[in-house]
Amino acid sequence: MEKTRATIQPVEGKLGVLLVGLGAISTTFIGGLEAMRRGTTKPFGSLTQMGTIRLGKRTDHRTPIVKDFVPLAKVEDLVIGAWDIFTDDGYTAAKKAGVLDPHHLEPLKDALATVKPMKAVFDRNWVKKLDGSHVKAGKTKKDLADQLIEDIRRFEDQNRVKRTVMVWCASTETFSTITAVHQNLAAFEKGLEANDSNIAPSQIYAYAALKCGIPFANGAPNLTVDVPALQELAQANRVPICGKDFKTGQTLMKTILAPGLRARLLGLSGWFSTNILGNRDGEVLDDPGSFKTKEESKLSVLDTILQPELNPDLYGNICHKVRINYYPPRGDNKEGWDNIDIFGWMGYPMQIKIDFLCRDSILAAPLVLDLTLFLDFAKRAGLKGIQEWLSFYFKSPMVAQGLYPEHNLFIQEMKLKNTLRYLMGEEQITHLGMEYYE
């Protein structure tokens, strides 16, 4: 393939980051960002800030940090805005979320407190376990979308922001599927006017973003932009989109381990995953509707990694169960157990146990940073619609119709880095390596 660098608009001025939801993940992200700016922490977990990318041959010794290779916005140039159904500012919300210890949180108080949420678009039918009063009123869903567009414009003007990205970090909405109103943009816009009950609040935010030409990432498992109508709008307005559901604790482990089992042709008879967590996310997921959305997202990964249809003897009969239990004493410090029943040579059974004592928002915050920077980069590089190369960050990656998603973390990583090489006019790395032995 001929090596040509894509035309990439320069990275100038500030970048707006509009977060839907000012809860545990958002405040942990904002707090960490401020700490990075002050030099009191390193950007642990962020591929853009700490990850390296090999360029050329192994003997070339060119492995820059991603942010030094790709023209990305600088951490100092990000300006944060948010919406929430509660009036709590970023500091109060962070304190309630309880992720950051006081010795980290208190010095960041001023910076976090400046983030005051705008009134949300919210409907209890979509998140049964929550109720808040900091909510917009509007006759139709179209009115609500227009109010969000006004919020976006005001935010951009007040902060003199040239480009903006929106990331859904709000609660998981109840399970829903694609209906007639989602089939195309005309039907969707009619549905906004007619208050169609199948249009979720998250879809109103996404619509507002795409109308303004703002890239949108979906950190939760809701359908949101994974519908033809909004993908049509993303194409028409040349806006990149990606989702769904940040790949953090247990599913991250699953997509690290399962490719290894498959690579060594170790069979799998069962995978039982259970979690306890006590944050607001856990409370929302205690509702069967929201849990179903999450369950679908968590269950989907094994099949596409193991491909039972290609290897029925190894993977044709797997019992895969996922449970999430709301257990308040744990707060954000989730515990995820996995019991994995595998078999090897002559069918002898073996077991693997994982006990991951993780911190959900600590794992998710760097993903918000990377996605913000990459989506802005994608827009400047002229990419539009679904950004499959960002699958690396998601439990249920969005893909073009007719494609199955790639869940294997290592293939996702290779795809991401090869996309960066491709856009920057560098050779793809195939790992063939014959030339070293010629």
Ligand X SMILES: NC(=O)c1ccc[n+]([C@@H]2O[C@H](COP(=O)([O-])OP(=O)(O)OC[C@H]3O[C@@H](n4cnc5c(N)ncnc54)[C@H](O)[C@@H]3O)[C@@H](O)[C@H]2O)c1
Which residues on neighbouring strands pair with residue 342, listed in sequence order? 268, 350
How far is it, in rounded angstroms, from Cα 380 to Cα 254?
A: 33
Q: Which is nearer to ligand X, 222 or 419 (CB)?
A: 222
Q: Does 11 bind ligand X (CB under 6 A)?
A: no
How far is it, in rounded angstroms, from Cα 180 to Cα 244?
A: 21
Q: Does 226 bind ligand X (CB under 6 A)?
A: no
Q: Which is nearer to ligand X, 145 or 364 (CB)?
A: 364
Which letter, b or e, does each residue of 203-222 get, where b requires 16 or more Cβ atoms within 10 Å of its Cβ? bbbbbbbbbbebbbbbbbbb
Q: Does 176 bind ligand X (CB under 6 A)?
A: no
Minimal CB distance residue for ligand X: 23
Q: Does 390 bind ligand X (CB under 6 A)?
A: no
Beta carbon of residue 320, minimum distance to ligand X (angstroms, whole number) = 19
Query: Given candidates 49, 171, 231, 255, which one binds ligand X under the rule CB under 6 A?
Result: 171
How far is it, in rounded angstroms, from Cα 366 to Cα 43?
A: 7
Identity (one letter) of the amino acid at 14?
Answer: K
Q: Which is nearer to ligand X, 215 or 267 (CB)?
A: 215
271 and 315 in contact (C-beta within 8 Å)? no
Is 27 exposed, middle or buried (CB count within 10 Å of its CB: 0-12, 13-18, 19+)? buried
Q: Does 248 bind ligand X (CB under 6 A)?
A: yes
DSSP conformational letter for 82: E
Q: Does 224 bind ligand X (CB under 6 A)?
A: no
Query: Given candidates 164, 273, 279, 419, which one binds ligand X under the rule CB under 6 A?
Result: 279
How far is it, in rounded angstroms, from Cα 398 to Cα 391?
A: 7
Q: Which is nearer to ligand X, 55 or 97 (CB)?
A: 97
Beta carbon of residue 259, minimum distance to ligand X (angstroms, whole number) = 20
Q: Does 422 bind ligand X (CB under 6 A)?
A: no
Query: Given candidates 15, 16, 21, 79, which one binds ligand X under the rule CB under 6 A?
Result: 21
Query: Given candidates 281, 287, 388, 426, which one binds ligand X under the rule CB under 6 A?
Result: 281
241 and 386 in contact (C-beta within 8 Å)? yes
351 and 257 in contact (C-beta within 8 Å)? no
Q: Does 136 bind ligand X (CB under 6 A)?
A: no
Query: Given candidates 172, 250, 333, 372, which one binds ligand X under the rule CB under 6 A?
Result: 172
Q: Which is nearer to ligand X, 147 or 361 (CB)?
A: 361
Query: Given candidates 361, 387, 396, 412, which one binds ligand X under the rule CB under 6 A?
Result: 361
Query: Given candidates 31, 45, 219, 240, which one binds ligand X under the rule CB under 6 A?
Result: 219
How far is it, in rounded angstroms, from Cα 291 to Cα 221?
A: 10
How far is it, in rounded angstroms, from Cα 141 to Cα 135?
A: 13
Q: Which is nearer to ligand X, 24 or 165 (CB)?
A: 24
* Contact map string, positions 324 to 343, toward ligand X, x by CB under 6 A: --------------------
How far is it, in rounded angstroms, from Cα 315 to Cα 369?
A: 36
Beta carbon of residue 215, minimum distance to ligand X (angstroms, whole number) = 18
Q: Does 277 bind ligand X (CB under 6 A)?
A: no
Q: Does 394 bind ligand X (CB under 6 A)?
A: no
Instruction: Name 345's Cβ contacts closer than 8 Å, sequence gap at least 6.
Output: none
Q: Does 363 bind ligand X (CB under 6 A)?
A: yes
How far is it, in rounded angstroms, from Cα 145 to Cα 136?
A: 10
Q: Does 209 bind ligand X (CB under 6 A)?
A: no
Which residues on neighbouring strands pair with residue 236, listed in sequence order? none
Which residues on neighbouring strands pair with residue 216, listed in sequence order? 166, 241
DSSP conformational letter for 436: G
Q: Does 364 bind ligand X (CB under 6 A)?
A: yes
Q: Which is nearer to ligand X, 171 or 333 (CB)?
A: 171
- Give the interface segment with ligand X, choosing from 83-91, 227-235, 369-377, 403-411 (CB under 6 A): 83-91
Beta carbon of residue 74, minimum distance to ligand X (angstroms, whole number) = 25
Q: Which is nearer to ligand X, 71 or 132 (CB)?
A: 132
Query: Can the peptide bond before residue 244 be classed as cis, meaning omega within 30 degrees of 0?
Result: yes
Nearest C-alpha neighbor of 329 from the set 363, 371, 278: 278
For 92-103, give the DSSP string.
HHHHHHT-S-HH
Query: Given candidates 18, 47, 73, 170, which one binds ligand X under the rule CB under 6 A?
Result: 170
Q: Does 97 bind ligand X (CB under 6 A)?
A: yes
The CA-atom distances, in angstroms, between 230 and each of 185, 203, 218, 236 are 7, 8, 13, 10
Query: Given candidates 15, 29, 70, 86, which one binds ligand X under the rule CB under 6 A?
Result: 86
Q: How far apart are the first and last CA of the chain?
A: 22
Q: Which residues bind ligand X (CB under 6 A)?
A: 20-25, 83-86, 97, 120-122, 127, 130, 132, 169-172, 201, 219-220, 245-246, 248-249, 279-281, 360-361, 363-364
